[in-house]
């Protein structure tokens, strides 16, 4: 069952809609037309009690220009582009700088801060955004569609598609944050990654171009461990970001094919999240700077490390790194990637 309600107004008076997708067991997902975002996911614990397991805000208006980019789809390029510059087909493009010396998540007016067109499409909710040529500094008119479905098996699927009328670069994900207990720190959550390599970065979190093995470092989640086990280790990646904010390459990732990226488990509730994607990489961000963000859905005040983002995507700074999987999209091509968040209990 899907319901739609008016939730608020955007800066220019745009109507913001809130969609609720409820399955046969009563578990539900709430989606907003601000950034085509995930606002709430209510799933059962091992005793059958439903709780919201994602970071979300009480008011629609709080989703504009929030630091965490909570639950939304950033773009046109999720993650960072060094110095806000890239060259495509011999022409240099200059983007807005909004993260130290770099461009992050499409800039301050990225897709996450826009009100998307939306509709109920059968058993799904679809959001659409049209990004004009030159928006944020990017070339080409780009049409983006986000298609969400919620199953009776408590699986939320997101398919992202995009088409352009001129060569451009695209990297799309959903920046949802999880806390499987529903509140408090996530540093006791247990994470396993299907990733034996990660991308080292400089101090501004731009990849150096090196691909490094996680074995023997605090970056290793091949064998499950608590998020907090090594988070205070004296290691460059952890020092730069005040915790994990790093891109991992998914082992065996094949374009167009779903692969398991991650598994997150919380022992008190018994909830487990398994993440599948067609994307080649996953960014793990342990909510290192959540303090000061807007009031939560239940009135809670969020602190650093109260949620973890598992962002399936292409690699940061790929437009400047020809050895990384390409993020170039040309006319006649279709960008199409999928993410599935599957919830159960253990």
For the chain, 346 residues long, give each residue's pLDDT as a single digit of tens.
Answer: 999 999 999 999 999 999 999 999 999 999 999 999 999 999 999 999 999 999 999 999 999 999 999 999 999 999 999 999 999 999 999 999 999 999 999 999 999 999 999 999 999 999 999 999 999 999 999 999 999 999 999 999 999 999 999 999 999 999 999 999 999 999 999 999 999 999 999 999 999 999 999 999 999 999 999 999 999 999 999 999 999 999 999 999 999 999 999 999 999 999 999 999 999 999 999 999 999 999 999 999 999 999 999 999 999 999 999 999 999 999 999 999 999 999 999 8
- The neighbour count for residue 184, using CB atoms within 10 Å, is 14
- Check which CATH number belongs to the domain holding 335 and give it: 2.70.98.10
- The neighbour count for residue 257, using CB atoms within 10 Å, is 10
Contact 215, 165 (CB under 8 A): no
Domain that holds residue 66: 2-345
Of the residues 40, 135, 266, 311, which is catalytic? 311
**Overall number of domains in the chain:** 1
Of the residues 40, 105, 163, 175, which is catalytic? 175
Looking at the DSSP bridge assignments, the partners of residue 111 are none
Query: Euclidean distance between the first and final Cα of the chain, in Å?
Result: 27
Catalytic status, residue 175: yes
* Residues 283, 248: Cα–Cα separation, whole Å: 6
* Residues 304, 146: Cα–Cα separation, whole Å: 29
* Residues 297, 202: Cα–Cα separation, whole Å: 35
- Give the Cα-Cα-Cα angle 139, 145, 150 (nearest 5 degrees): 150
* Residues 92, 83: Cα–Cα separation, whole Å: 12
């Amino acid at each position: 069952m899907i319901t739609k309600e008016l939730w608020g107004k955007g800066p220019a008076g745009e109507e913001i809609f809130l969609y609720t997708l409820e399955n046969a067991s009563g578990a539900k997902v709430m989606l907003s037309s601000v950034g085509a975002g995930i606002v709430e996911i209510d799933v059962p614990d091992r005793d059958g009690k439903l709780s919201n397991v994602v970071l979300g805000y009480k008011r629609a208006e709080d989703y504009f220009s929030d630091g965490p980019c909570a639950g939304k789809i950033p773009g046109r390029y999720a993650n960072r582009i060094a110095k806000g510059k890239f060259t495509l087909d011999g022409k240099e493009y200059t983007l807005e700088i909004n993260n130290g010396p770099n461009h992050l998540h499409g800039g301050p007016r990225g897709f996450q801060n826009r009100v998307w067109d939306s509709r109920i499409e059968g058993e799904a909710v679809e959001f659409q955004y049209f990004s004009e040529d030159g928006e944020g500094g990017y070339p080409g008119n780009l049409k983006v569609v986000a298609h969400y479905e919620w199953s009776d098996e408590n699986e939320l699927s997101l398919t992202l598609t995009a088409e352009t009328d001129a060569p451009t670069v695209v990297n799309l994900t959903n920046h949802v944050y999880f806390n499987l207990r529903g509140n408090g720190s996530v540093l006791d959550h247990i994470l396993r990654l299907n990733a034996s390599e990660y991308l080292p970065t400089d101090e501004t979190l731009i990849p150096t171009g090196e691909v490094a093995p996680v074995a023997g470092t605090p970056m290793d989640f091949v064998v499950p461990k608590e998020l907090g086990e090594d988070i205070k280790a004296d290691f460059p990646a952890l020092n730069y970001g005040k915790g994990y904010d790093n891109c991992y390459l998914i082992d065996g990732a094949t374009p167009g094919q779903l692969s398991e990226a991650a598994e997150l488990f919380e022992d008190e509730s018994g909830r487990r999240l398994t993440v599948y994607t067609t994307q080649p990489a996953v960014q793990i961000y342990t909510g290192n700077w959540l303090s000061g963000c807007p009031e939560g859905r239940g009135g809670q005040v969020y602190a650093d490390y109260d949620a973890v983002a598992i962002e399936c995507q292409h690699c940061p700074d790929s437009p400047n790194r020809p050895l990384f999987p390409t993020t170039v999209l040309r006319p006649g091509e279709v960008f199409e990637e999928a993410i599935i968040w599957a919830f159960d209990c253990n």
